[in-house]
Chains A and B, each alone.
Chain A
Amino acid sequence: QVQLQESGPGLVKPSETLSLTCTVSGGSVSSGSYYWSWLRQPPGKGLEWIGHMYYSGSPNYNPSLESRVTISKDTSKNQFSLKLSSVTAADTAIYYCARYRENRGLIITTTIFDYWGQGTLVTVSS
């Protein structure tokens, strides 16, 4: 059973960098054709995909956040991380890490976030 657990500061000051880590157990961040993903959910709002890193190391980011986001992984610790720079109050949200995979068919592709962390609330405030 794959498990993911987010960790990091719950309070970040405006203009600083938000840093979170996701520790994976029961699976490897460096194998299996999975995308290791970060998502967030502002209070009372919907889900937003931040970005992901393919198991082989290629990152892909939400265009609306791309200039501020870096996702990396540490295979020795079986972790992947999120850095979001120059944060403002609008970045206050519950941040989730999750595993994403795709199954490509001849015509149509199946997508799924099959495992999620419990989420961690990050508040941006001075």
Chain B
Amino acid sequence: SSELTQDPAVSVALGQTVRITCQGDSLRRYYASWYQQKPGQAPVVVMYGKNNRPSGIPDRFSGSSSGNTASLTITGAQAEDEADYYCNSRNSSGNHVVFGGGTTVTVL
């Protein structure tokens, strides 16, 4: 089992808001980064650090962190946001890199 826990799937109505969470003890010492992966494509980072969006990522994506939980929020979800989302950090000992199991976001 992963040291970072994500819900397997969430759905959101078009234009509504969805929050994806990632839990793990290491998140008290490490900010999670978040990756969007669409079918047949390599993952792309959409959020890192406290709330940093790489160039080209829409501002409807935002991040937050509290205690052992990191969150990625999509405000006004679009059809193109339908994808798998993975969180990433170090493990609780800080000596290895780990990923959450991924959350499939479906836009209805």
Instruction: Kindly list chain A residues whose C-beta atoms are within 8 Å of the C-beta of B31.
Output: 108-111
Bound complex: CA A33 to CA B76 (Å):
37
Q: Are B48 and A117 in contact (CB under 8 A)?
A: no
Q: Which residues of B contact A109 (CB under 8 A)?
A: 29-31, 90
User: B101 near A103 (CB under 8 angstroms)?
Assistant: no
Q: B75-89: contact bitstring with A at CB < 8 Å (1 yes, 0 no)? A: 000000000101011
Provide the main secondary structure of the chain B interface: strand
Q: Is the CB of B86 within 8 A of A49?
A: no
Q: Is A60 interfacial (CB-CB < 8 Å)?
A: yes
CB < 8 Å neighbour of A47 from B48, B86, B89:
B86
B33 is an interface residue with CB less than 8 A from chain A = yes
B90 to chain A, nearest CB (A): 6
A46 touches B102 (CB 8 A): yes
User: Which size bracket describes the interface of A in this complex?
Assistant: 20 to 34
**Residue B35 lies at the interface, judged by CB distance under 8 Å to chain A:** yes
Q: State which of B42, B52, B86, B95 has its C-beta within 8 Å of the C-beta of A46.
A: B86
Residues of A within 8 A of B33 (CB): 110-113
Residues of B within 8 A of A62 (CB): 96
The docked-state distance in angstroms from the alpha carbon of A72 to that of B30 is 27
Q: Which residues of B contact A116 (CB under 8 A)?
A: 42-44
5 new A-B contacts, CB < 8 A, other than A46-B84, A111-B90, A112-B49, are A111-B88, A112-B45, A113-B88, A114-B45, A116-B43
Chain B residues with CB under 8 Å of chain A are: 2, 28-33, 35, 37, 42-45, 48-50, 52, 54, 84, 86, 88-90, 95-102
